[in-house]
Amino acid sequence: MIGTVINATAILVGGSVGLLVHTRLPEKIIKIVFQAIGLFTLFMGVQMALKTENILYMVMSIVLGAIIGEALDIDGFLQKIANNSYGKATSAGKIQRLLYRKSSVQTVEKQHYGVVNAIIAAFLLFCMGSMSILGAIEDGLGNPPNLLLAKSVLDGFTAIALTASMGVGILLSVIPLLIFQGSITLLASHIMHVFGETVITELTAIGGLLLIGLGITMLEIKKISVVNMLPALIIIVVFTYFF
């Protein structure tokens, strides 16, 4: 769980800076950080995807996973939760969509928010995305938490802007973040002990493929609905374990 702990620490540090300076980061700084993390994510995805030993299972898993995720509309469900919580016109809703999509930069007007609303908003921002889930899985599988380290840099900068706009509730959001990402990490750790090395290798490779999609989205090359492809992580385990 070291990756999640570092992630939470980065948010605390960034949030503390935001409280002190009471200002937003320039949009061009936020944008270049997104691009840098996007390049790193793309590199990591390629590196992980090349570990596969069965291209057929990888293709079948990503295609079937995408079909299932699209049918369930996981992406749309998460967006609906965010929009229902904050409204499409509010600053909280705007910044939620910005960071959930990881694809554009918008100006966020400073407003006053209650602590509870700020905690909920920050939880959605920091946790309801493919980078959070894939990073926690990577950490739980015993690999270096590189993705969560990259996410920590991004979240740290984001926390500065969020705390300046929404207050101390952003700092408190690390509590649900620790619970959410920590639970996924522990589950992935349990999977590592139950399944063999082949399953873990193919699971890592599928995660890498999803990271490539995430990196492409972050670099604004093409919008790829990575969240709707997450069922592929379950399908690849079934394929490699039973077949």
pLDDT above 90: residue 34: no
- 38 vs 112 pLDDT, higher one: 38
Q: Which stretch of 82-96, 209-223, 227-241 has the lowest confidence by average pLDDT?
A: 82-96
Chain segment 42-58, per-residue pLDDT in tens? 998 898 899 899 999 99
CA-closest candidate to residue 166, choices 215, 198, 126: 126
Q: How far is CA 102 from CA 136, 137, 241, in A?
A: 18, 20, 33
Average pLDDT along the chain: 79
Percent of the chain with pLDDT strictly greater than 90: 24
CA-closest candidate to residue 14, choices 165, 211, 216, 179: 165
Q: What is the pLDDT of residue 82?
A: 57
Q: What is the pLDDT of residue 112?
A: 41
pTM over 0.85: no
